[in-house]
Amino acid sequence: MTILLTTLNARYTHASLGLRYLLANMGEWQEQTKIQEFVIGAKTTEIVERILQHHPKIVGFGIYIWNVEETNKVVGMLKRVAPHVTVVLGGPEVSYETNEQDIVKQADYVITGWGDVTFPKLCSEILNGPKPIMKVHAGHQPPLADIKLPYSLYSDDDIKNRTIYVEASRGCPFKCEFCLSALDKTAWPFNIDAFLAEMESLHQRGARLFKFVDRTFNLNIKTSLKIMQFFLDKLAANPDDPVYAHFELVPDHLPDALKEGISKFPPGALQFEIGIQSFNPEVQTLVSRKQDNQKAADNIRWLCDHSTAHMHVDLIAGLPGETVESFAAGFNKLWALGPHEIQFGILKRLRGTPIIRHTEPFGMVFDPHPPYTILANQHIDFPTMQRLVRFARYWDLVANSGRFTNTLPVLLGDTPFEHFMAFADWLYANTDATHRIALDRLAAMVQKWLVQRGMDAHEATALVASDVATGKKHTHDTPKAAAPQRQVRHLAA
């Protein structure tokens, strides 16, 4: 074996689509190329040992924000114990500000941007000579029709045990300054018939959970409808063996034809991830995010009221110009629309994103280490930002987990942000923990908080107990759906 493609995934269940694209496009080198994936948290020595067991001449690493620090250690150790092995890096994290990075200093070559065509070419040059002189190679971006689709490279084990990532398009035409996709300037679709043929074969092989990584699934409605129809046909033909599909939508573009398609899906078959990020028009202008807030709100409400899709909506705290008060107003407005989950994100300064132009005017201070989270800005000082970080963590545990669906409306009252912020401050003061809070302990704390806020102790106990009992029941009594457990809990609420 000559070439090893590897990466450290965030979880075992995340199968790397990027590595599979590279393998599918290796051409004459494909027979001599293998994939070996790891999960972050694994021991560096074990990773290096397992890589070297393949006796590779070249190791290609996929570098992302979540694995760059651990992969840096792996590359350092690999070059120390096997300096003859050529290390090639690729992926979004090394595609910008490339030469400033420690991991790049330790590697032999880096490909920035798309690697599908450039990686096999670079391998040929390394293996056949003459060896390339330049360390950093700008990835060539071919027409999508020239890229071989990778889906047959998902193994039976991947299909059975892992999330299957798929993409019907790459890129995004919007330019939100905090997002890496802002640099794409446009979106490119794969040939839809070829793509659906691959989905058909994945389905025949047993795939039921399809996660679309397209940044904007609803850009081209004709294509969106074709993809939806594919899943509707599968659901109609196999109601006892349903599929589950996850799509990212832009919120202000939901024509009637798409609504009609969406409304045909049964419960537990669809999930939408929708980025609102901010409802504040001044913030939207500052970060070049074009969004019709009224249409976005109307569409989210329509989806919550008229579809059975699981709704996961994103907000970002810490954007330039956003105060705690304006963020709270956006949060409350979004909660009132009824999504199952609000992803409370904290702004990150992703390498290459234009958000840095606001650094000085808005006093933005970012953690220099991945994931480059904002620590403070002109409107939100460091202690307040930390309170927001804890809010986000506790919101995941209490609200997004679906464990407290009966209790949550009581906990949040008519001003959800303010009430939950007070709860988060109190919970932190009384547990000194944001992680590893067992469900029983969390339930006891929620009960205690409700009593402190004036609720009768018996009522509070009964209310929280109804959630804990329901949560336990759901784990044994899951409706027939391919949806993950957390989504099932929300949909059953």
CB of 299 to ligand SF4, least distance (A): 14
Amino acid letter, residue 223: T
85 or 179: CB nearest ligand SF4: 179
CB of 25 to ligand SF4, least distance (A): 24
User: What residues between 1 and 30 interact with ligand SF4 by CB under 6 A?
Assistant: none
- Measured at the CA of 331, the angle between CA 287 and CA 377, to 5 degrees, comes to 45
Please return the burial class of 326, using the count of CB atoms within 10 Å of its CB with bins 0-12, 13-18 and 19+.
Answer: middle
Long-range contacts at 77-80 (CB < 8 A, ≥ 24 apart): 77/44, 77/45, 77/48, 78/48, 78/51, 78/52, 79/106, 79/107
C-alpha separations of 218 from 6, 195, 223, 379 in Å: 32, 16, 8, 34
52 or 183: CB nearest ligand SF4: 183
Site mask, ligand SF4, residues 234-273, x = CB under 6 A?
----------------x-----------------------
47 or 172: CB nearest ligand SF4: 172
Strand 244-249 and strand 270-277: pairing?
parallel
User: What residues between 159 and 188 interact with ligand SF4 by CB under 6 A?
Assistant: 172, 174, 176, 179, 181-182
CB of 289 to ligand SF4, least distance (A): 6
176 or 408: CB nearest ligand SF4: 176
CB of 281 to ligand SF4, least distance (A): 16
216 or 299: CB nearest ligand SF4: 216
CB of 336 closer than 8 Å to CB of 326:
no
CB of 386 to ligand SF4, least distance (A): 25
The reply on whether position 215 binds ligand SF4 by CB under 6 A is yes
For residue 489, give the H/E element and its range: helix 485-492
Strand 209-212 and strand 187-189: pairing?
unpaired
- Among residues 472, 328, 492, which one has the least CA distance to residue 412? 328
- Among residues 218, 206, 204, 93, which one has the least CA distance to residue 168? 218
172 or 262: CB nearest ligand SF4: 172
CA distance 440 to 447: 11
CB of 274 to ligand SF4, least distance (A): 10
Site mask, ligand SF4, residues 107-146, x = CB under 6 A?
----------------------------------------
172 or 342: CB nearest ligand SF4: 172
The reply on whether position 275 binds ligand SF4 by CB under 6 A is yes
CB of 317 closer than 8 Å to CB of 327:
yes
The reply on whether position 319 binds ligand SF4 by CB under 6 A is no
Tokens for 424, please give them: 């988060």
216 or 271: CB nearest ligand SF4: 216
Site mask, ligand SF4, residues 398-427, x = CB under 6 A?
------------------------------
CB of 380 to ligand SF4, least distance (A): 21
70 or 273: CB nearest ligand SF4: 273
- Measured at the CA of 407, the angle between CA 406 and CA 413, to 5 degrees, comes to 115
**How many other CB atoms sit within 10 Å of the CB of residue 227?**
22
CA distance 10 to 78: 21
Long-range contacts at 366-375 (CB < 8 A, ≥ 24 apart): 369/69, 370/65, 370/66, 370/68, 370/69, 370/93, 371/65, 371/66, 372/65, 372/348, 373/346, 373/347, 373/348, 374/318, 374/346, 374/347, 374/348, 374/349
Q: Coil, strand or helix: which one is 117?
A: coil
CB of 400 to ligand SF4, least distance (A): 20
CB of 12 to ligand SF4, least distance (A): 26
Determine the size of the site formed for ligand SF4 (CB under 6 A). Answer: 10
The reply on whether position 348 binds ligand SF4 by CB under 6 A is no
67 or 181: CB nearest ligand SF4: 181
Residues engaged in binding ligand SF4 (CB under 6 A):
172, 174, 176, 179, 181-182, 215-216, 250, 275
